[in-house]
Amino acid sequence: MIKYLSLIAVLCCVLNVSAQEIDADLIAIKERMDAVNAFTADLELDLDAPFINMPTKHASMQYQKGKDIKFSSDDFVVLPKRGLDFALSELFEHPFITVNRGEESLHGILVKVLNVIPTGDESDMALATLYLDTHNQRIAASEITTKKQGTYKLDMRYAANQDILPNYVEVSFAIEKLKIPLNFMGSDTKIDRKTLRNMDTKTGKIKLQISNYKID
Amino acid sequence: MMIPLLKVELFKLFRESKTWYAIAAVLLIEGIILTAAYYQGATILELLLDNLRQSFYFEGNLLNGNLLLYIILNSLWFNLPLILMIVSSALITEEYKNGTLKTLMLQAVSKWQLITAKYITSFIFTALILALLMLTTCILAYSIFGSGDLVVYLGTLNFFPAEEAFKRICLAFASGLLSMLFFTTVSLTLGILLKEPAKTWIASAFFLILCSLLLKADFGVPAVERFFFPKLTNAWQHFFEYDLDLNSILMDNLLLAGYTVFFALIGIYLFTKKDIG
């Protein structure tokens, strides 16, 4: 009798876990995002990297559900490969499970911390930590570790409580030391080997101010 | 008196076939550099942006007229001064070689006026070549490759918007002109000293090579690093530092102009003190 009861208990647990593989709050956020069919917005980009000087740049972005985000600019602009996937389509592209890590305070609000772990080999993502603003049903921050492109940290701010799309995104990324071809250097440009050695990997940031959202 | 002398000197300069050969050589070098820069530029950009490419998308074209103008400016280090020095020194060495100085001195012309006119002629020729180089490069580079942001590596990767890049390129050409004037003035002074064309060309080339070696050498003495003339011949490059230190650039250019006047005064002094013949 005890054996049967134990077996039933184990089965219930397994079924319960498989039913909660994807966090309900994350699904709610995804559903809220899915309500956005398309949007356009203006971007103001500031690159803050240790050995790159770039003035503030402007671009515009176009999103259409099911398609890649398109950018256009009259300037030369550098746009992060990760961080602008507001629809979480990359995340939901391949199967994954979520693990609830509890709650934390972020920028003065209580957020739910979730680990997202892909269950297959297809995803480029190795692990993601999402910080969910469950009260306003949106992502507050995330940290994505990829298999090929290092780790990215994303910090999102919103203009109003009801907004689903952020008005400010800060993407932090690791950047390797520069490989400079000698024939491109000025004649009096000196190579400081000590500095170059210490520049192995640094953290850079790209700050995006997003305005003039036109949402469909 | 100086204006007629200048007219005569300019007339003689442009009657010389070697002047036109020099102009043709400059334009040919420009064409070669532009072609090479196009292929080299693509590889350079590929390497420069390789680290960023892993994390970012790029929107826009960096292989544009501004980058090619910057690469052309880099050729000012060696190719252009060498040609200009040969033509400038010939202003006096050819007169020695052909014995025409004696005839000239039979006219009512003072020695200092004659040699000053030759220095001014060398200045005008240098400025004209630089203007021609800039004009043709701008026309070719912008018409073929268009405008766009400029990326330059000077310790850091510096990106400049197209308008800012063009402004800095113009200022760099102006500063590069001072550098060219310095070299041509020295070559004319060497011509006065050595009199023979071949010897002067060798001495001028040696001076240019020495300057380029000393420019890269690290003396470890701040005063030498700051005020020694080879260190000032590259002042134009400072226009591509992200944060412009205009006072420092102005000081470098004024010092270089001072050295130019100093070498010209030595030449004028030597010429007036020396016997003709």
Least Cα separation, residue A79 to chain B (angstroms) = 5
Strands A77-80 and A96-106: unpaired
Cross-chain CB nearest to B56 (options A55, A81, A189): A81
Q: Which residues of B180-212 are buried (b: 16+ CB within 10 A; e: fewer)?
A: bbbbbbbbbbbbbbbbebeebbebbbebbeebb
Q: Looking at the predicted structure, is the pLDDT value of residue B235 above 90?
A: no
Does A44 reach chain B within 8 Å, measured CB to CB? no
Kindly write down the DSSP assignment for every residue of A25-57, as one continuous string: HHHHHHHHHHT--EEEEEEEEEEEBTTEE---E
Rounded to whole angstroms, the Cα distance separating B75 from B133 reads: 11
What class is the A21-215 domain? mainly beta
Rounded to whole angstroms, the Cα distance separating B21 from B33 reads: 18
pTM assigned to the model: 0.79
C-beta separation of B145 from B63 below 8 A: yes
Contact B47 A185 (CB under 8 A): no
Q: Among A56, A166, A27, A206, which residue's Cα sits nearest to residue B52?
A: A206
Q: Looking at the predicted structure, is the pLDDT value of residue B214 above 80?
A: yes
Least Cα separation, residue A167 to chain B (angstroms) = 20
pLDDT tens, position by position, B67-107: 888 888 887 667 889 999 999 999 999 888 888 887 877 77
Cross-chain CB nearest to A77 (options B40, B60, B155): B60
C-beta separation of B259 from B251 below 8 A: no
- pLDDT of the residue at A42: 93
- pLDDT of the residue at A157: 92
- pLDDT of the residue at A14: 44
Least Cα separation, residue A192 to chain B (angstroms) = 9
Chain B residues within 8 A of A46 when measuring between CB atoms: none
Contact A179 B158 (CB under 8 A): no
* ipTM for the predicted complex: 0.74
Instruction: Give residue B158's identity as a one-letter amino acid code.
Output: N
Least Cα separation, residue A186 to chain B (angstroms) = 7
- pLDDT of the residue at A181: 52
Rounded to whole angstroms, the Cα distance separating B189 from B196 reads: 12
Greater model confidence, B179 or A178? B179
Does B17 reach chain A within 8 Å, measured CB to CB? no
Q: A214: which strand partners? A: A40
Contact A175 B159 (CB under 8 A): no
Contact B156 A173 (CB under 8 A): no
- pLDDT of the residue at A12: 45
C-beta separation of A60 from A71 below 8 A: yes
Other beta carbons less than 10 A from residue B140's beta carbon: 17
Contact A77 B61 (CB under 8 A): no
Does B147 reach chain A within 8 Å, measured CB to CB? no
Contact B159 A51 (CB under 8 A): no
Residue B61, judged by CB atoms within 10 A of its CB (0-12, 13-18, 19+), counts as middle
Rounded to whole angstroms, the Cα distance separating B59 from A156 reads: 23
Greater model confidence, B46 or A158? A158
Rounded to whole angstroms, the Cα distance separating A118 from A139 reads: 19
Backbone angles phi, psi at A23, to 5 degrees: -60, 140
pLDDT tens, position by position, B120-173: 999 999 999 999 999 998 998 899 888 888 988 887 888 999 999 999 999 999
Greater model confidence, B233 or A148? B233
Tens of pLDDT along chain A (216 residues) come to 555 555 555 444 444 444 447 888 998 988 888 888 889 999 999 988 877 889 999 999 898 887 888 888 888 888 877 767 777 777 788 888 999 999 999 988 899 999 999 888 888 888 899 999 999 999 999 998 888 777 888 899 999 988 888 999 998 887 766 555 544 544 444 555 555 555 556 788 889 999 999 987
8-state DSSP, A214: E
Chain B residues within 8 A of A74 when measuring between CB atoms: 60
Report chain B's mean pLDDT, rounded to a whole number: 88
- pLDDT of the residue at A198: 55
Q: How many CB pairs under 8 A join A and B?
A: 114
Does A197 reach chain B within 8 Å, measured CB to CB? no
51-80 of A, contacting B, C-beta below 8 A: 51-55, 59, 71-80
Does B215 reach chain A within 8 Å, measured CB to CB? yes
Does A188 reach chain B within 8 Å, measured CB to CB? yes
What are the tokens at A93?
A: 């592209």
Helix (H, G, I), strand (E, B) or coil at A98: strand
Please tell me which of A80-84, B212-216, B249-253 the model is most confident about, judged by mean pLDDT. B249-253
Query: What residue spans define the domains of chain B?
Result: 2-272
